[in-house]
Amino acid sequence: MKNRWVLFVPLAVMGLLFGAFIYRLTTPAETLIQSQWIDKPMPLFDLPPATAGVEGLKSSQLADGKPRLVNVFASWCIPCRAEAPQLEALKAAGVPIDGIAIRDRPDDVAMFLNEYGNPFDRIGSDMQSSVQIALGSSGVPETFLIDGKGIIREQIQGVILADQVPEIVTKIEAMK
């Protein structure tokens, strides 16, 4: 009986399979769905103001030669509160920021701005997430880097952390 080692092949295959299972159980797959709508023009939209005293947001306003951030947020989104200081820091560094409020009510947006500050030049109200879907965005907060021609250059998913701020400032500067 030659090739006795062949008998161990099934055991080895099972070992590999279980190894794969254990690997995936301990390091779950990445569940962030990245937008594929990158290096493409901003979808066409015209959003009304999200609350009294702010300007609404039109896609045509995003192609005025000035690179900027478009922050997708909501007053009901708890991580967005944690992001507020970083947006303030970006604004202080001279980065223009526009906002899109998702499924939000004017009173709630006003309360949010009152409590966590208003770094936004304009805030459009996206009541049915239609602009969010057109952007390929799957949650809040998300931030899009837009160049002066209104082309989306990058998507940042989740809260912008303090140590990401200088990098974002540099990227926006580089687009000028």
User: Of 30 and 163, which CB lies nearer to other proteins in the complex structure?
Assistant: 30
User: Of 66 and 105, which CB lies nearer to other proteins in the complex structure?
Assistant: 105
Residues 44-83 that bind other proteins (CB under 8 A): 74, 76-78
Q: Which stretch binds other proteins (CB under 8 A): 17-25, 26-34, 60-68, 156-164?
A: 26-34
Which residue in 83, 136, 141, 146 binds other proteins (CB under 8 A)?
Answer: 136
135 near other proteins, judged by CB under 8 A: yes
142 near other proteins, judged by CB under 8 A: no
Cβ-in-10-Å burial (0-12, 13-18, 19+) of 91 comes to middle
Residue pair 92/64 in contact by the 8 Å Cβ criterion:
no
* Strand stretches in 61-138, DSSP E: 68-73, 97-102, 123-126
31 near other proteins, judged by CB under 8 A: yes
What is the distance between the alpha carbons of residues 131 and 106, in angstroms, rounded to a whole number?
Answer: 18
Tell me the site size for other proteins, rule CB under 8 A: 26
What is the distance between the alpha carbons of residues 53 and 92, in angstroms, rounded to a whole number?
Answer: 21
